[in-house]
Amino acid sequence: MSGGSLRPASRGRTDRRRGPGRRAFASAAAALGALAAAASTAQHSTAFDVESGERAYASACANCHGPDGDLIAGIDFGRGLYRRASSDDEIVGIILNGIPNTPMPPNPGMSEAQALAIVAYLRAMARSSASAELDGDAARGRALVEGKGECLTCHRIGRRGSRAGPSLTRIGTARRAEELKRSLLDPAAEVLPENRSYRVVTREGEAITGRLMNHDTFTVQIITSDEKLRSFRKANLAEHAFAETAMPSYRDTLTAQEIADIVSYLVTLRGEERQ
């Protein structure tokens, strides 16, 4: 009986001695699993993750890094170029904690999930850039904008061009290269609220279309293709409604290389006055 009673006690002491080690091992395994899950989240992200990351990037990062992630020397997110980080975990750490003694601040109000979504967006941005068919030339693009493309008949760059369409003076700070390309090929796919067209028909039968500047319950103001600001009382109109964008598609009028050249020029437009 005494021998039988000792064995269970011995086992119990052995289990207690091994318990902390096992718990430490389990904790370490859990931590490694969490890190692996974090990396996996960015590497195997969904379209929702990328879309969420794009919004977070625009809010927290684009002001300094630019919409294409290439405003800071030595860093180009669109090409997957980073100064201090290579893995997803390292990028997440920089987003959350910043880099001491540099302009890169910490983001204490951001969650790890949001940072991972930004990484997913940055990876998607680099994949999109890598899949681009052609490299553009900004100098050729400027010549096309001012010449064959006839862009300045509607748009303004610095002091040149028309105010009928939205200004392109700072377009490189607001739109990514892929978005600009899409606007050239399929302009109706995405129209920003401030760039919508509006059509009115007066009681006398005159039809007028222009870029919507403002409207409320009683009035509507548009700027026409000849740069005239027109204001109408809705009660005096036979018809009034939003219209299809006046921006033409260049899909059939410009070559793929010319589109690439124009995009390369537009992304350089960041507010400088150009003569």
Give the model's pLDDT for residue 88: 87
In sequence order, what DSSP letters do the residues of 165-231 get, joined into one string?
S---TTHHHHS-HHHHHHHHH-TTS---GGG-EEEEEETT--EEEEEEEEE-SSEEEEE-TTS-EEE
Q: Could you say which DSSP state residue 76 is in?
A: B
Single-letter amino acid code for the residue at 163: R
- Per the CB < 8 A criterion, the answer to whether 81 and 71 are in contact is no
pLDDT per position as a tens digit, 167-182: 999 998 888 888 899 8
Nearest to 42 by CA among 9, 86, 4: 86
Average pLDDT of the residues in 173-196: 86
What percentage of the chain carries pLDDT values higher than 70? 79
Q: What's residue 262's pLDDT?
A: 96
Give pLDDT, residue 26.
Answer: 44
Q: Phi and psi (nearest 5°) for 207?
A: -100, 130
- Domains of the chain (ranges, CATH numbers): 43-130 (1.10.760.10), 138-190+249-266 (1.10.760), 197-243 (2.30.30.100)
Q: What is the mean pLDDT of residues 36-58?
A: 68
Q: Cα dihedral sign for 150, 227, 213, 205?
A: negative
Q: What is the pLDDT of residues 107-122, one digit of tens each?
A: 999 999 999 999 999 8
Residue 191: predicted pLDDT: 85
One-character DSSP codes across 4-56: HHHHHHHHHHHHHHHHHHHHHHHHHHHHHHHHHHHHHHHHT--HHHHHHHHHH
CA–CA distance from 179 to each of 109, 125, 128, 129, 260 (Å)?
29, 12, 11, 12, 12
Residue 249 · residue 185 · CB < 8 Å: yes
